[in-house]
Amino acid sequence: MRPLPADETLALRRLRVAIRQRDPRKLAIALEHLADDLDNGARYGRADEWRALAESARLELDLSPGLAARLDEVAGRITKPGRAPATAEGAVRPRAAAGLAVVAAWDGVLASDQARASCLRVLDRSTSSSVGQLRGWLGTGASVETVASRANALLSAAHLGALDRPPPWMDALVAGIQAACAAPDEERCGHLGLSPSVAEADVASLAEALRARPGAGLVTAHVGLEWEAGFAGTPRRLAYDPEGSHLVKLAGSLDWFYCFRCVELAESAGSPLAVACPRCGGPCWPLIAPPANPYFAPAPLRDVWAVGERVLACADSWLVLDPPNPRASDPVVRWLLRRWAPGTRVFVVSRQPPIQDAWKSALERQGGTRVMTGNRVEAVVGDLLGLASPG
């Protein structure tokens, strides 16, 4: 084992570098390293230095609400009196008695041939010459999901200053994604295209289970607005609230827009193609598609991934809906597996038995003994509602 004083020195140095360089992204990465150290049993005792660094970060950096909350949470595990110390068996986890995380990792609507055809029809009606690149990508057989991910890479490059502005065809792509999400094949894609294993009654049951547990949440990679319809009253938070429920949209949302000049999120009503920044009046650009590394994305996407991490960490039980194979090179899958902890109760619901078996094997190899599988949400919803009942 590495000596803990050296570990603490390294952890302090990471935060100092981020503050000196005025880099919120480096601060976010340093905080995740620190949280991992604490979760693995490290005991850090230089509380005054941590307290001073946290205060310096608040003063020197323009922190987003989510990053500020994460700073308070992680540094508070060292600086706040009355915290139970980490034990040799592992650090104390901030879990609710029976917290619940529903992870809707599937977004097959945007990966279907039907979605590509719908998107191409929208682009064919456009008179703008700038959509030729989109038509070319889709014409080679790429899915709408793949094209949206490429677009998000360009958005991230613009955010980091590598481009003068986002690509001019973003509005056309948003219109195409709206069309792709508008009329899913429910037999293949489930209710409203949310998941093959989800029926209409399941959405109300999931919402009930989540509302019954403070700090619980639905974590999804779906960019459409369908989950909002079923989870009315569940806000899409950019900071973790241990007393509330959460709708965590890792991939952004069709009604999220971002001003690169003001570094600010603007939410719209419905599904427009463009939104003016409420601060400067300039154009905002859509935030869509899950990044391979959220720390290189614009601030709101980094914040929402941080909220998702806390929802997962605070939940004793996960329901994972129609995930890809755990061996897939999918950023959400990799992110889930890194944050899973032995002892977490996991329901894997999929209509594909090989996917069920692959997840069960993957988690059991990592020490999981509470992995259950099913092919429809209705088969496990009774357990979920019982799990979410107080007492």
pLDDT of residue 22 exceeding 70: yes
Q: Read off the pLDDT of residues 311-338 as tens digits, 9 standing for 90 and up.
A: 998 888 899 999 988 887 777 888 888 8
Average pLDDT over residues 93-109: 68
Residues 352-360, mean pLDDT to the nearest whole number: 91
Entry pTM: 0.69
**For residue 371, what are the β-bridge partners?**
346
Q: How confident is the model at residue 93 (pLDDT cuts 50, 70, 90)?
A: very low
Q: Give residue-wise pLDDT tens across range 162-178.
A: 666 667 777 788 888 88
Residue 234 dihedral angles phi and psi, to the nearest 5°: -100, 105
Question: CB under 8 Å to 229, separation ≥6 — which residues?
Answer: 192
State yes or no: pLDDT of 290 exceeds 50.
yes
Write down the domain spans for the chain: 4-79, 100-107+190-251+299-388, 113-183+254-288
pLDDT at 166: 65
**Please, which pLDDT band fits residue 354 given cuts at 50, 70 and 90?**
very high
* CA 79 – CA 93 distance, rounded (Å): 16
- Asked if residue 198 lies in contact with residue 375, where contact means CB atoms within 8 angstroms, the answer is no
pLDDT tens-digit series, residues 203-217: 888 888 888 888 889
Mean pLDDT value across the chain: 79
Q: pLDDT tens digit string along 122-164? A: 888 887 777 888 888 888 888 887 887 777 677 667 666 666 6
Express as a percent the part of the chain with pLDDT over 90: 4
Q: What is the average per-residue pLDDT within 11-23?
A: 84
Domain 100-107+190-251+299-388 listed as CATH 2.60.40: no
pLDDT band for 275, please (50, 70, 90 cuts).
confident
